[in-house]
Structure formats: C-alpha cells, structure tokens
Amino acid sequence: MNEELKSFLLEVSKIYFRYGIKSVTMDDIAREMGISKKTIYTKVEDKNDLVTKVMEYQLALDFERVKEVVNASTNAIDEVFDICSKIGEIIGDMHPSVMYDLQKYYPKVYKKFTDHKETFVLDTVIANLKKGKDQGLFRSAFNEEIIAKLHISKMDVIWDPKVFDHSKTSFIDVVGEMMIYHIYGVSNQKGRDYLNKRLNRK
C-alpha cells in the first residue's frame, strides 16, 4: 500500500469515526476532503471496497502501534496502560454507531475485526500475562488463555449501547476502567501496589 493511499484511508477513517459509516456517502467524503468523487473511484471500486480498505488499514495500524508498545515495554502493567493509551488515540472520539454499522451492513469487514481480536489481540494479552508472571507482578496460579479470552470478550460490551450510553460515557473511560479492573484481577500484592502508585501519580 503506497503512502498516498494510506493518507487517503486515514482521512476517510477520521470521517467514519466522527459520523458513523452507514450515514456517510461518497459525496460526503468528497466534500469533507475537498476532492471529487472521480478521484475517490481511482482508489476504490465502491463504498464496500472503501470500508474494507479503511478497516484493513486501521487493523494494520493497530498491529504496528501495539507491537511498538510491546517492544519498548519493560513492565507488564505499564504495557497495559500504554496499549490503552494507543487504543484511546483511535477510539477516543469514535461515533458509537461505527461497530454497529460494521456488524449489520458490512459483516465480512466485521469478521476481519473479530478475527484480529481472536488472534493478534488474544496473543498479545496472553504474552502480557506471561510477562507479568515472570516479573512477579501477576498471580502465578491462573490459566493465561482462559483469562485472556475472558478479557477480550469484554471488548464487545464496550460497543453495546444497551450497556453504555456513549453520549454520557466516553469509550476511552470505559476502556480505562476495564484495563484497571483486569490488572487488579490478575495482580498479586506487588502488582497491586505498583498499580496503586501509578494511579496515584496520574
């Protein structure tokens, strides 16, 4: 994927995240970006192709951002917070209908998201749990795969409007509380002491 296409997809993703996906037409995108629809169709075939490419690009960005955090991290608890911060850069102002639109109108694209969650995200959580155990911050007596699957299953709840009214509660606040809840659950006393010190500093 060339840099010009990446830049285009990034701008489109910002529009989708701001307004939702279904309600945004190709005319809307052209107007928002100050380009012609003809220019858009030199990059994608139709809206379905555009949504597919945008979400593939976002998943690739997620992969790169998380890997960057993991490679730079020396502490399992800090790693969780740093990943949360990266997630916040993406979903902080996301329109609450985005995931609903994907699931209902673009099921093949939504499956790419769930596949990413059930492979890369799951493996990342498992690796973090093992790191925390090795560093003496997490309890030793739990099954990493079970805990990781329970943790990522909560990601679906974040988007559920029946559970959270995102006009009152932001995505990033929900994610932040979920991460703290997760760390407390897996930490031993040393890990909880470190977490409390970190939270007090913030």
pLDDT tens digits, one per residue of 86-135: 887 777 678 878 988 999 999 999 999 999 999 999 999 999 999 999 99
Domain annotation covers residue 78? yes
Q: Residue 4 falls within a domain, yes or no?
A: no
CATH code, domain with 166: 1.10.357.10
Distances, alpha carbon 129 to alpha carbons 53, 124, 125, 184, 188, in Å: 32, 9, 6, 12, 12
Question: For the chain, what is the domain count?
Answer: 1
What is the domain extent for residue 81? Answer: 46-201
Classify residue 30: in a domain, yes or no: no
If pLDDT is split at 50, 70 and 90, which confidence band does 16 have? very high
Q: 84 in a domain, yes or no?
A: yes
How much is the pLDDT for 87? 80
Place of tokens 């809307």: 28
Predicted pLDDT of residue 14: 93
Answer yes or no: is 6 within a domain: no
Residue with tokens 């977490």: 195
Distance CA 101, CA 23 (A): 9
* 191/72 Cα distance (integer angstroms): 20
pTM of the model: 0.90
CA-nearest of 199, 144, 154, 143 to 178 is: 154
> What is the model's pLDDT at position 159?
81
Provide mean pLDDT across the span 160-186. 87
Mean pLDDT of the chain: 92
Residues above pLDDT 70, as percent of the chain:
99
Residue 194 inside a domain? The answer is: yes
- No. of helices (H) and no. of strands (E), the chain: 12, 0
Residue 96's pLDDT is what? 79
Confidence of residue 202 (pLDDT cuts 50, 70, 90): low
What is the tens place of the pLDDT at every residue in 71-92? 999 899 999 999 988 887 777 6
Please check whether residue 161 is in contact with residue 98, taking contact to mean a CB–CB distance below 8 angstroms: no
Distance (Å, whole) CA 8 – CA 58: 12
pLDDT 10s digits, 134-162:
999 999 999 999 999 999 998 888 888 88
